[in-house]
């Protein structure tokens, strides 16, 4: 079994932030949709990355 299979479900807010960012391919557009700051979305995605132990996005100077 992998580590993820042994854990509980991921926290909902980071999962929502990741889904919006992935769909828009933009932290800023995800933030607009969720009515939070871009920094808040970035931090939520980081929480999910830490929880899962993988990098979900490659962060670049001008986007994901």
**Between residues 6 and 1, the one the model is more confident about:** 6
In 3D, which of 55, 46, 50, 11 has the Cα closest to residue 27? Answer: 46
In whole angstroms, what is the distance from residue 45 CA to residue 10 CA? 11
Task: Measure the CA dihedral 40/6/19/61, to 10°.
Answer: 60
Looking at the chain, list the stretches that DSSP marks H as alpha helix, in order from N- to C-terminal side: 12-24, 27-34, 38-52
How does pLDDT run across 7-24, given as a tens digit for each residue?
688 899 999 999 999 999
Mean per-residue pLDDT, 53-62: 85
pTM (two decimals): 0.80
Helix axes 12-24, 38-52, angle to 10 degrees: 110
Total count of residues recorded for the chain: 64
């Amino acid at each position: 079994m992998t580590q993820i299979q042994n854990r509980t479900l991921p926290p909902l807010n980071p999962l929502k932030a990741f889904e919006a960012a992935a769909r828009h391919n933009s932290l800023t557009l995800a933030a607009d949709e969720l009515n939070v700051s871009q920094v808040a979305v970035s931090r939520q995605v980081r929480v999910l990355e830490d929880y899962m132990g993988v990098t979900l996005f490659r962060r670049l100077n001008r986007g994901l």
